[in-house]
Amino acid sequence: MAQTGAFEQILDYSNRADPYPLYAELRKTPVARQSDGTYVVSTYKEIVALLHDPRVSSDPRGIPELTAVGAAPGEETPELPPAFIRLDPPGHDRLRCTAMRHFGPPGTPGRVDGMAPRMAEIVTDLIDGFDGGNRADIVDDFAYPLPVTVICELLGVPREDDRLFHRWSQTIIEANDQTTGPLPERQRRRFSATAELGRYLKGLVGAHRRHPGDDLLSALALDADMPSDDLLSTAALLLIAGHETTVNLIANGVLTLLRRPELLERLRHEPDLVIGTVEELLRYDPPVQALATGRNVLSDIDLAGTTIPRGSVVTLLLASGSRDPERFHDPDRFDPDRQDNQHLGFGGGIHYCFGAPLARMETQLALTELTRRLVNPRLVTDPPPYRQHPFLRGPRHLPIAFDGIVPA
């Protein structure tokens, strides 16, 4: 099988349920040039090297084809500049540090941990909502409403507006998926959705400045070190990334446990096992399979016997790296007791996932309570239908059946 063929098959929806054999094929050539001139990196050591290499830029403005498509005639300029996840130092460092000042330690050490009681309440209410029946869709009924409610309350965004920002976030995410249409068309859809989201957030930030609360958006709005335009892009990043990937992580976790009844039973009796379970889940079946947008090389890089030329675009296959047998023993086995689990589920380097503590807490609580309260849970469809995007991978729906619910 040719390397280009393997990567094209990963993009093919028919392989969405199990891309991992294709990753194994790709790892035979750690750094592989594709027919379009881009490079795919699939092994752990090489991915980690590039995640920490300042010669790899995250700013998509360095890729001409991603910036050549602007607004259609008559359209407005978008309200959002690039978020810090799409910037290089020093701009990235300045914005990320300002945002972290209000999100986590040392500036605000209790913001995420302080959400734990409210998260538990949300989880309890959602599982209680299953009562009266013996079926549920884990995605629609649980994995989506949990992180959406949490991020809305954390940021100070009206929960009832989720129908709006969910539509915008889907459009923005799909613009990064080459299987959904030609680049100019995808860019214009993204441009329009970004402009609408920017206008929405601009009004919300104004309201928080006039009547600040104890939420994260109010804290950022009142921080003199956060310029208004950058505040909008930061808020958009936290709002979208704060729920999209966690939906997949929770759904992937439920699917993994229901395929392993012995592990589910063990977790029911050993709740502390959930910590290792979630870390292994991030390695074994992560919600973000690859970093594939805007990574471009600023100068020639020699890696694993291949020279990646200046100006090249690179795709880092995180999920492949986390299954690399050169780094992980028996990598295709799910092992919640795995030691030294330095997975790539949250990326690495300066762009290590900003919301990792929140995602961990939500998923640990979700899996613990579902395991404890559902009586004889089982899959209705296996494999379930998956979302379209090849690299933000998770079930679109996950129907399950059960025999009852243990009271909270």
CB of 97 closer than 8 Å to CB of 90: no
Main-chain dihedrals φ then ψ at residue 123, nearest 5 degrees: -60, -45
Question: Would you kindly state where each structural domain of the chain is located, as residue ranges?
Answer: 3-405
Main-chain dihedrals φ then ψ at residue 377, nearest 5 degrees: -70, 145
Q: Hey, what are 161's tokens? A: 């507006």
Q: What pLDDT shows up at residue 1? A: 37
Q: What pLDDT shows up at residue 225? A: 94
Give the residue among 40, 45, 47, 44 at the shortest CA–CA distance from 26. 40
Range 285-312 average pLDDT: 94
- In sequence order, what are the beta bridge partners of 31? 41
pLDDT tens track for 195-252: 899 999 999 999 999 999 999 999 999 999 999 999 999 999 999 988 889 999 999 9
Range 250-257 average pLDDT: 98
Residue 256 has pLDDT above 80, yes or no: yes
Q: What pLDDT shows up at residue 305? A: 96
Domain 3-405 fold: Cytochrome p450 (1.10.630)
Residue 68 has pLDDT above 70, yes or no: no
pLDDT tens track for 366-392: 999 999 999 999 999 999 999 999 999
Rounded Cα gap, residues 4 and 21, in angstroms: 15
Main-chain dihedrals φ then ψ at residue 405, nearest 5 degrees: -130, 125
pTM reported for the whole predicted model: 0.93
Q: What pLDDT shows up at residue 78? A: 56
Give the residue among 95, 101, 62 at the shortest CA–CA distance from 80. 95
Calculate what percentage of the chain has a pLDDT beyond 90. Answer: 80
Mean pLDDT of the chain: 92
Q: How many CA atoms lie within 13 A of 207 on its CB side?
A: 11
DSSP-derived secondary structure letter, 30: S
* Helix residue spans in 211-351 (DSSP H): 216-221, 228-258, 261-269, 274-284, 318-321
Residue 348 has pLDDT above 80, yes or no: yes
333 contact partners, CB below 8 Å, separation of at least 6? none
Q: What pLDDT shows up at residue 223? A: 95
Q: What pLDDT shows up at residue 63? A: 73
The SS3 of residue 324 is coil
Q: What pLDDT shows up at residue 13? A: 94
Task: Give the pairing type, strands 306-308 and 31-33.
Answer: unpaired
Q: What pLDDT shows up at residue 299? A: 97
| pLDDT tier at 69, thresholds 50, 70, 90 | very low
Q: Hey, what are 173's tokens? A: 């995410």
In three state form, how does the secondary structure of 78-108 look? CCCCCCHHHCCCCHHHHHHHHHHHHHCCCCC
Q: What pLDDT shows up at residue 294? A: 74
